[in-house]
Chains A and B, each alone.
Chain A
Amino acid sequence: MYLTNGIVIGIIYAISALGVTLIVGIMKVVNFAHGELYVFAGYFSYYMSVSLGLSPLVAMPLSVFLVFLIGLLMEKALIRPTYGDDMYSLIVTFILSIVLQNLALLIFGPYPNKPPNLIFGATNLFGLFYYGNQRLLSFFISLAILLFIFYLIKMTWFGKSIRAVSQDREMASRIGIDHYRINMLSFGLGAALAAAAGVILSPIFPVTPSGSAAISLTAFVVVVLGGMGSLKGCLVGGLILGIIENLGAAYISTMYRGIFGFILLILVLVFRPWGLYGQKT
Chain B
Amino acid sequence: MKSSTIWFSVAGLSVAIILPFFLSQYWLHVMIISLFYVMMASSWNLLAGYTGQVSFAHAAFAGVGAYTSGMLSVFLGVSPWLGILIGIISAALLGLGLGVLCIRMGGIYLSLTTLGFSEIIRIIITNEDNWTRGTMGLQTPGLFVEYSKTGYYFIFLAVAVAIGVVIYKLIHSEWGLTMRAVLNDEIAASASGINTINVRLLAFTFTSAIAGLAGGLYGHYLMLVTPDIPSLGQMFLVLAMAVIGGMGSFAGPIVGSFVLEILSEYIREWGEYHVLIFGLIALAMARFAPEGLMGLWINKRKGHGHTN
Contacts and interface: CB of A to CB of B under 8 A. Distances in A.
* A and B: bona fide binding partners: yes
Query: Which residue among A24, A81, A96, A259 has the maximum number of chain B CB atoms within 10 Å of its CB?
Result: A259
B101 interface: yes
Contacts of B117: 262
A269 B109 contact: yes
A191 B276 CA distance: 21
Contact of B105 (A106, A256, A262, A269): A269
Interface in B226-251: 232-233, 236, 239-240, 243
Contact of A259 (B123, B239, B286): B123
Nearest to A265: B116
A30 B286 contact: no
B295 interface: no
Contacts of A94: 54, 56, 236, 239
User: Chain A, interface size: which category?
Assistant: 35 or more
B177 to A, nearest CB: 19
A224 B109 contact: yes
Contacts of A28: 108
Interface in A71-115: 77-78, 81, 86-88, 90-92, 94-96, 98-99, 102-103, 105-106
B119 A30 contact: no
Interface stretch (A124-132, A169-177, A213-221): A213-221
Interface string B61-92: 00000000000000000000000000000000
B185 interface: no
Contacts of B113: 265-266, 269
B144 interface: no
A162 interface: no
Nearest to B124: A259
A262 B122 CA distance: 12
B283 A78 contact: yes
B239 A91 contact: yes
Interface string B115-140: 11101100110010000000000000
Interface residues of B, number: 39
Query: Which residue among B105, B108, B117, B240 has the maximum number of chain A CB atoms within 10 Å of its CB?
Result: B108
B116 A220 contact: yes
Contacts of A259: 120, 123-124
Contacts of A256: 123, 127
Nearest to A224: B112
A96 B276 contact: no
A86 B286 CA distance: 13
Query: Which residue among B104, B127, B286 has the maximum number of chain A CB atoms within 10 Å of its CB?
Result: B286
Interface string B17-58: 000000000000000000000000000000010001010100
Contact of B283 (A95, A223, A270): A95
Contacts of A24: 108
A268 B217 CA distance: 35
B268 to A, nearest CB: 15
A269 B280 contact: no
B279 A95 contact: yes
A30 B282 CA distance: 18
A228 interface: yes
B54 A91 contact: yes
B54 A102 contact: no
Nearest to A77: B287
Nearest to A273: B105
B269 interface: no
A223 B115 CA distance: 14
Interface in A223-274: 223-224, 228, 255-256, 258-259, 262-263, 265-266, 269-270, 273
B102 interface: yes
Given A94-B56, A217-B116, A256-B127, A99 B108 contact: no
Query: Which residue among A28, A224, A263, A270 has the maximum number of chain B CB atoms within 10 Å of its CB?
Result: A224
B275 interface: yes
B286 A92 contact: yes
Given A96-B279, A262-B117, 19 more contacts: A81-B287, A87-B54, A88-B290, A91-B48, A94-B56, A94-B239, A95-B239, A95-B283, A96-B283, A98-B279, A217-B119, A258-B119, A258-B123, A259-B124, A266-B101, A269-B102, A269-B109, A270-B101, A273-B104
21 contacts: A30-B112, A87-B48, A87-B107, A88-B290, A91-B48, A91-B243, A95-B243, A105-B272, A106-B273, A213-B232, A217-B116, A220-B116, A223-B112, A224-B112, A255-B127, A258-B123, A259-B123, A262-B116, A263-B120, A265-B112, A269-B113
